[in-house]
């Protein structure tokens, strides 16, 4: 579709959503849709909930965060359940500043931006519609027009509780423009927009000597004093501070604890009483979610200062740690690369995964359990099933260290090193070894890494390298086995015949001699040992295979090479072990003969077609695995 046509369609949709009417007509709307009168906190909570909630292992995953926040499902669940939900129900937490605390590049700013963009979209829906007094610079709630002495009656009739007082400006407008007839006051539908400063405000600290409190609360328009005669006339005041403009929505304080104290004191009254002081006026009501973010060092320094106790008691601190799941870290890198100018460079499969392994290892704390090292912990956190461990063990591991994930290598460092490698060497293709080398080279120039941490991180690079060695061998193994697929199917059929005889306590018949034979225990064990099936567990494993075959037969399906993942892996490993000498010769010979060259080309083609490599990275992988097998 033509982009200009899309712009026109969008403009027409915006026009259709607009609404304007009198306060009387707005009350008719409320009778049909009382949810229109919800608070800012309630609107944010309902926006999050409307995207969907999934129940997973006794935890809730809020889908609203899925596209931008990776690996922090539990932190997001805590944020919603302990702050947004109770605040939406008008419990006391709504009178608190939400302070997100976490390490650099951990997702705090991304989370706030997600909420702001989400609110912009949500106010375009029926459920998230917001109505305000027309012409009010603070987008004031029309229900503030209801006099205090009638609010109890209003609540009984409409089931809606009104909080907050009519602002000085609108009090004057009701008298001067509408002759005191509140039912005639014009109301309009508004749409939140950070760019247009409607319902979303952002405050960023700068030099305390030059930054003015007017940035928060607005200021006197001196050019109008001669016209209106007094500084206390609300028409002579510009209600254009961030607190004014964020009314009904979200107010973001960037790096809040870097702010000068005079800016923070305004928040005491706003959070606790729902109002703030501006100019020579009575307190101005405001309904807004105040969300701030900071790092742990600044937060510790802040709470150590006794002068900050009053403000600290009005905060809800939510830790936003680093992600601790390898697969989710990989998604973070993929997203950052998509948004960069290096997205056209070929990145070999497993490159980002290996980088993610290193990064996650730097963030994990040693377990108190002797049976769990950091590699096992990394795998368990990523959802891998390890023999002897359950979900209960994973939950216990997470409770060992409350601050796990609050330190370590941040994603930006990894992307910076990948970018550096590509640009310096002018590469069009990179692999895991390139990235591990670059990560190692960069540790010395990383200002915030101590010598002690540097030594630990070098060990983690070695661990990640060993993990990559296994991945590389397995990748080549799969490609070779693919070329020998007929052999793999024959081997599996042979194994299944023996398993069936073993479980049924029967004998096999030799197809050539007709002789009856006992099941081949050596063959079965040589395959099962490839995936760690112990002597004690072999009977249960074989019975499981037989049950699976029977289940397939009942459904009229044939049990084949793809039907059991662990058995397929065992067959591949066994075949690869048998082919190891062929692989070593084929991958390491400098002058391959015709047969070897044919096999290399087949494997390279498989790596390209089936596994996502290009010609360069596939050949590099083969050379590397050849060198590993010849050690």
For the stretch 165-179, pLDDT in tens is 999 999 999 999 999
The alpha carbons of the chain give a radius of gyration, in whole angstroms, of 33
Beta bridge partners of 525: none
pLDDT of residue 194: 94
Q: 297 with 221, same domain?
A: yes
Residues 506-516, mean pLDDT to the nearest whole number: 80
Of 302-311, 533-542, 609-618, the poorest mean pLDDT is in 302-311
Does 617 reside within a domain?
yes
Q: Which pLDDT value is given to residue 589?
A: 66
- Domain span at residue 402 reads 324-448
Residue 172, pLDDT score: 92
Residue spans of alpha helices (H) in 68-203 = 73-79, 85-88, 108-122, 151-158, 168-178
N-to-C CA span, the chain:
58
Phi, psi for 381 (deg, rounded to 5): -65, -30
Selected residue with higher pLDDT from 553 and 596: 553
353 and 213 within one domain: no
Q: Convert the pLDDT of each residue in 8-41 to its tens digit.
A: 988 888 889 999 999 999 999 999 999 999 999 9
| E runs forming strands in 260-374 | 275-276, 284-285, 289-294, 315-319, 346-347
Residue 454 lies in a domain: no
Number of Cβ within a 10 Å radius of residue 346: 16
Distance CA 354, CA 461 (A): 9
User: What single-letter DSSP state applies at residue 55?
Assistant: E
| Residue 461 within a domain | no
Average pLDDT score over the chain: 88
How much is the pLDDT for 18?
93
Report yes or no on 464 lying in a domain. Answer: no
Same domain as 298, residue 212? yes
Instruction: Give pairs for 366-374: CB < 8 Å, separation 24+.
Output: 367/397, 367/400, 368/400, 369/397, 372/397, 374/463
β-partners of residue 19 are none
d(CA 239, CA 615): 63
Using CA atoms, how far residue 261 sits from 99, 208, 276, 288, 308, in Å, is 16, 9, 15, 21, 9
Q: What's 161's domain CATH number?
A: 3.40.50.300
What are the pLDDT digits (tens) for 270-296?
Answer: 888 888 888 778 888 899 999 998 888
Check whether 353 has a pLDDT greater than 90. Answer: yes
Q: 247 near 140, Cβ under 8 Å?
A: yes
440 with 489, same domain: the answer is no
If asked whether residues 171 and 50 sit together in one domain, one would say yes
Please indicate, yes or no, whether residues 436 and 514 belong to a single structural domain of this protein.
Answer: no
Distance CA 317, CA 74 (A): 15
Domain contains 463: no
User: Strand, coil or helix: what is 244?
Assistant: helix
Range of lowest pLDDT (453-457, 481-485, 618-622): 481-485
Statement: residue 483 has pLDDT above 70? no
Q: Does residue 466 form part of some domain?
A: no
CA separation for the pair 21, 430 (Å, rounded) = 61
458 is a domain residue = no
Residue with token string 């912990």: 377
- The pLDDT-based confidence of 47 (bands split at 50, 70, 90) is very high
**Claim to verify: residue 505 and residue 362 sit in the same structural domain:** no
Quick one: pLDDT band at residue 333, thresholds 50, 70, 90?
A: very high
Per-residue pLDDT, 352: 95
Last residue of a domain, one of 317, 335, 370: 317
Q: Of the given ranges (55-69, 115-129, 138-152), which has the lowest mean pLDDT?
A: 55-69
Both 439 and 501 in one domain: the answer is no
pLDDT at 260: 74
Q: For strands 219-220 and 275-276, give the pairing.
A: unpaired
Q: Are residues 201 and 313 in the same domain?
A: yes
| Tally of domains in the chain | 3
Q: How many CB atoms lie within 10 A of CB 307?
A: 9
**Looking at the domain assignment, is residue 6 inside a domain?**
no
Euclidean distance between CA atoms 436 and 444, whole angstroms = 14
Confidence band, pLDDT 50/70/90 cuts, at residue 588: low
Decide which of 255, 289, 317 is a domain's last residue.
317
Judge if 443 and 511 occupy the same domain. Answer: no
- Please tell me whether residues 332 and 306 are part of one structural domain: no
Q: Out of 317, 336, 361, pick the residue that ends a domain.
A: 317
Residues 374 and 354 in one domain: yes
CA distance 192 to 184: 25
Contact criterion met (CB below 8 Å) for 509 and 516: yes
């Amino acid at each position: 579709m033509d982009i200009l046509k899309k712009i026109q369609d969008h403009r027409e949709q915006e026009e259709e959503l607009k609404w304007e009417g009198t306060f009387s007509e707005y009350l008719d709307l409320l009778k049909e849709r009382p949810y229109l009168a919800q608070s800012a906190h309630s609107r944010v909570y309902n926006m999050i909930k409307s995207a969907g909630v999934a129940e997973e292992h006794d935890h809730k995953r809020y889908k609203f965060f899925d596209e931008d926040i990776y690996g922090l499902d539990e932190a997001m669940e805590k944020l919603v359940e302990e702050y947004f939900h109770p605040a939406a129900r008008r419990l006391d937490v709504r009178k608190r500043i939400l302070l997100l605390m976490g390490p650099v590049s951990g997702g705090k700013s991304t989370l706030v931006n997600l909420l702001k963009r989400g609110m912009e979209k949500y106010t375009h829906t029926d459920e998230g519609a917001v109505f305000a007094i027309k012409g009010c610079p603070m987008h004031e709630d029309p229900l503030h027009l209801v006099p205090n002495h009638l609010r109890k009656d209003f609540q009984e009739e409409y089931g809606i509780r009104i909080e907050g007082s009519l602002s000085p400006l609108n009090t004057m407008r009701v008298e001067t423009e509408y002759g005191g007839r509140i039912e005639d006051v014009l109301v309009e539908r508004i749409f939140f927009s950070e760019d247009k400063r409607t319902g979303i405000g952002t405050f960023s600290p700068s030099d305390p000597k030059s930054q003015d409190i007017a940035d928060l609360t607005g200021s006197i328009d001196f050019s109008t004093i001669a016209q209106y005669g007094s500084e206390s006339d609300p028409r002579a005041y510009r209600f254009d501070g961030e607190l004014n403009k964020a009314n009904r929505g979200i107010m973001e304080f960037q790096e809040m604890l870097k702010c000068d104290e005079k800016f923070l004191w305004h928040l005491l009254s706003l959070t606790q009483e729902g109002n703030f002081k501006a100019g020579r006026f009575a307190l101005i009501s405001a309904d807004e979610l105040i969300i701030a973010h900071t790092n742990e060092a600044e937060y510790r320094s802040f709470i150590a200062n006794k002068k900050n106790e009053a403000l600290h008691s009005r905060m809800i601190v939510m830790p936003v740690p680093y992600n601790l799941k390898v697969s989710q870290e990989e998604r973070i890198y993929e997203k950052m690369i998509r948004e960069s100018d290096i997205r056209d460079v070929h990145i070999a499969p497993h490159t980002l995964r290996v980088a993610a392994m290193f990064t996650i290892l730097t963030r994990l704390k040693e377990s108190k359990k002797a049976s769990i090292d950091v590699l096992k912990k990394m795998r368990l956190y990523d959802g891998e099933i390890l023999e002897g461990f359950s979900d209960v063990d994973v939950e216990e591991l997470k409770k060992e260290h409350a601050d796990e994930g609050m330190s370590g290598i941040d994603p930006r460092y990894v992307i910076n090193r990948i970018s550096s490698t590509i640009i310096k060497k002018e590469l069009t293709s990179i692999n895991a070894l390139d990235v591990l080398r670059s990560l190692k080279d960069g540790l010395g120039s990383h200002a915030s890494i101590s010598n002690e941490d540097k030594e630990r991180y070098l060990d983690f690079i070695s661990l990640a390298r060993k993990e990559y060695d296994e991945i590389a061998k397995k990748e080549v193994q799969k490609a070779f086995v693919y070329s020998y697929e007929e052999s793999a199917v024959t081997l599996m059929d042979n194994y299944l015949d023996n398993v069936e005889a073993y479980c049924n306590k029967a004998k096999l018949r030799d197809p050539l001699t007709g002789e009856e034979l006992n099941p081949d225990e050596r063959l079965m064990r040589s395959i099962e040992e490839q995936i760690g099936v112990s002597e004690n567990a072999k009977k249960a494993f074989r019975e499981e295979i037989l049950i699976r075959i029977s289940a397939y037969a009942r459904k009229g399906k044939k049990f084949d090479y793809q039907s059991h993942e662990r058995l397929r892996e065992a067959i591949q490993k066994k075949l690869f072990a048998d082919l190891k000498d062929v692989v070593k010769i084929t991958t390491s010979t400098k002058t391959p003969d015709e047969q070897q060259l044919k096999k290399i080309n087949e494997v390279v083609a498989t790596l390209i077609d089936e596994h996502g490599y290009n010609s360069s990275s596939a050949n590099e992988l083969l050379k590397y695995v050849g060198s590993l097998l010849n050690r």
